Amino acid sequence: MTTLQLADNLYPTLRLQDTVEKALQLMNDFKAAYLPVISDEVFLGLLAESDIIDEEDKNVRLEVFQTNFIVAAINANNFFLKAATIYNLYQTNVIPVINENNELMGTISSGALINALSNFCGSSEYGALIVLEMERSRFAISEINSIVESDGATILHLNVSPHPAPGMLEITLQLNKKEIAAIIATFERYEYTVSYYSGEELFENELTTNYQNLMNYLDI
């Protein structure tokens, strides 16, 4: 998915000739702390509410604040994950999408970006989640995948992120099944550190069933 495909265009644009009063009114109406400013469809930057909220003369035009604009945007052809970089750097409610001529093609709201990231990470998929911790030198996708497939499961999503400890990685696995006791046991047998998991513990279910069967037998 490109950034342009993700654009939801929820927020209006401002122009240099607009007044502070108009900008503040739009920001209030759309619950936006930032809005894009354009001139002849060319993106000039993001205007922050904090830069104009204390202006006493509400008829002052936005061109006065042009040096304060945040020139942050993402190319329309970039993969949508690039938009997360802009969001993380500036914490804006809107990410402008531009073309090669710096023309504003659309905007991505922070809500649309978060939803896309959630779907990309597989959070809406059925299945279990496993988090492993390991040294960088030991990371091998083939071995991890082999362990998962040994119990008939499939990795739907795999994410690698730095661990706070030097030289360590955190591996997050989203699987297509919830019964993961055998997979957890195999990881631990291969001396992987399983720091977190969510799913149904089949072993516990089997123990419960066996216990109930034993109690029923003793009652006979």
Dump pLDDT digits (tens) for 7-40: 999 999 999 999 999 999 999 999 999 999 999 9
Q: What pLDDT does residue 119 have? A: 81
Mean pLDDT calculated for residue range 94-101: 96
Q: Which H/E stretch holds residue 156?
A: strand 155-162
Q: How far is 172 from 181, CA to CA, in rounded Å?
A: 17
Per-residue pLDDT of 35-73, as tens digits, reads: 999 999 999 999 999 999 999 999 999 999 999 999 999
Please tell me which of 20-34, 105-119, 174-188 the model is most confident about, judged by mean pLDDT.
20-34
pLDDT at 220 over 60: no
The amino acid present at 55, given as its one-letter code, is: E
Asked whether the whole model's pTM tops 0.75, one would answer no
Comparison of pLDDT for 42 and 85, the residue scoring more: 42
Long-range CB contact pairs, 113-116, < 8 A, 24+: 113/6, 113/80, 113/83, 113/84, 113/87, 116/1, 116/6, 116/80
Q: What pLDDT does residue 92 have? A: 92
Q: How far is 43 from 122, CA to CA, in rounded Å?
A: 34
Q: What pLDDT does residue 219 have? A: 58
Q: What pLDDT does residue 203 have? A: 46
108 close to 97: Cβ distance less than 8 angstroms: yes
